[in-house]
Structure 1
Amino acid sequence: MSEGYKIVYEGGSGEIEEKKSRFIATVRPVGSEEEVTAFLAEMKKKYWDARHNCFAYVIGEKNELVRCSDDGEPSGTAGRPMLDVLLKEELHNVAVVVTRYFGGTLLGTGGLVRAYQQAVKEGLSNSQIVEKRKGSRLVIDTDYNGIGKIQYLFAQEEISILDTEYTDAVRITAMVPAEKKEQIEKALMEGTNGKAGISWGETVEYAFMDKKLKIF
């Protein structure tokens, strides 16, 4: 996870209609197959009168668990197209159920594929998706001569500054991705001639939501 990966922080739902058939997508973050099983049971109970409750899910940082189901639709017209959307969006630890209420008109293979994929996209558009990374909080104590170099370095490396305190010296708090930790420390030492005080916090998983830091 050194470069980060995308997850659904908060699920959502979306609905489309195609030739009077309703396709309702429900997206949910999941961390295990047990959670998926519970989610499926919940959706089947909620939409008990629907003809189909097709699903797809991806679990693990490296997609260790990937499953899908057409739930009675023609083979390859629902579950796999739904899964393809999740994989194309590079999402992890997410499940989606698309519930179909048949409208009386057959859509054909291509029509079903397009409808199920569009429903998933609609559900994702109403979900909160974030990039989750590993990193460490960094506290730097420096004099006023060093502040400009540090701010320039962080801007170049796209390091997020969380807080800056100005007293008789300057204290900067930042969140540094794990893969940049050694590089940033070396650059800080060289840029301030070793005068900056550096203190690292523990490694955590984090994401920025609405420009605010969220620690998992």
Structure 2
Amino acid sequence: MTIPRATPGPNSYTTLAAGPDFRHEISIKRSRFITVLRRVGDEPSARELLAGLRREFYDARHHCSAFVIGADRAVQRSNDDGEPSGTAGTPMLDALLKREARPAASPTAPAADLSDVCAVVVRYFGGILLGAGGLVRAYSESVSTAVDLAPLVRRERLKLFRVAVPHGEAGRLENELRSAGYVMTGNEYDAVDTQIGLAMADDETVIAAAVARLASLSAGRHTLSAAGTDWVDTPQTAR
């Protein structure tokens, strides 16, 4: 089996787990700060979140936002939405960019690599001025606390494979592969076989070990078929 070389650039980063928006609220001197986090893959998706929250919280004074997108975090935007310049959007973006995770491959080496995340902080003014420093702290804390509480995952660029197995054998073999630590990516079905999907690092040693493990589990009857490369959420959290 010929395995293409890995694509240059980052091969993993931290992001929000797939699912509904995450919300968290704090109160500071009677002002309410409602933080909403959404996993986004492009700028239009981030702006869609902001537009939706403007409609939902139409009576709020401010809808400040920040987002970072891409494995290399190339897209970074922020907006103060009427707060004094630099007191809302910038500290929100900094909170996203500086959030450190410990990747499973190097748990002792924290990395600031959070991406594909949009944060919007809706503020209801409580009547007490916070001052520039107070606003910076409030918006930073709002986003930092929400990110710390939100469900996070590693997103890794992995090699995809398929294993064609008769329907009656698929459940057992899939469970064996899952128990062995492989990331399962879903199955496809035809009239005869189940195509079990799995993913692993683009590393010749890792792939060779998977080939050997599959041969052992199936008495040599089944083999891996390469199915490309893609970004895959891996099950461990990024805490």
TM superposition score normalised by structure 2: 0.64
Q: Going by fraction, where is strand more abundant, 1 or 2?
A: 1
The structure with more radius of gyration: 1
Q: Decide which of 71, 75, 97 is 2:120's aligned counterpart.
A: 97
Identity of aligned residues (%): 37
- Match of residue 205, structure 1, among 190, 206, 231: 231
**8 Å contact kept, 1:52–1:100:** yes
Alignment correspondent of 2:72: 62
State which of 4, 27, 32 in structure 1 corresponds to 2:12: 4
Match of 1:33 among 30, 34, 43: 43
Question: Which residue in 2 is equivalent to 1:183?
Answer: 205
Within-5 A mapping of 1:137-152:
137=161
CA distance in 1, matches of 2:223, 2:54: 54
Confirm whether residue 23 of structure 1 aligns to residue 33 of structure 2: yes
**In the TM superposition, what whole-angstrom CA distance separates every residue of 1:34-70 from its partner, at most 9, and x where no partner exists?**
2222211111111111111100011222122211011
Q: Which moved more, 1:19-28 or 1:86-95?
A: 86-95
Superposition deviation, residue 123 in structure 1: 2.5
Q: CA RMSD in A?
A: 3.5
Runs of 5+ in structure 2 lacking a partner? 1-8, 100-112, 164-179, 185-196, 213-219
Change (3 A) 1:50 1:176: same
Q: How many residues align?
A: 186
Map of 1:166 onto structure 2? none
- Structure 1 residue corresponding to 2:134, chosen from 97, 100, 111: 111
Query: By how many angstroms is 1:188 displaced?
Result: 7.8
User: What letter corresponds to residue 110 of structure 1 in structure 2?
Assistant: G
Aligned twin of 2:95: 85
**Residue segments in structure 1 that go unaligned for 5+ positions in a row:** 140-157, 163-172, 191-195, 212-216
Offset at residue 209 of structure 1 (A): 3.2
- What is the CA distance between 1:126 and its match in structure 2? 4.2
Aligned-pair CA distance for 1:119: 1.0
1:3 maps to a residue whose letter is N
| Segments of 4+ moved more than 6 angstroms | 187-190
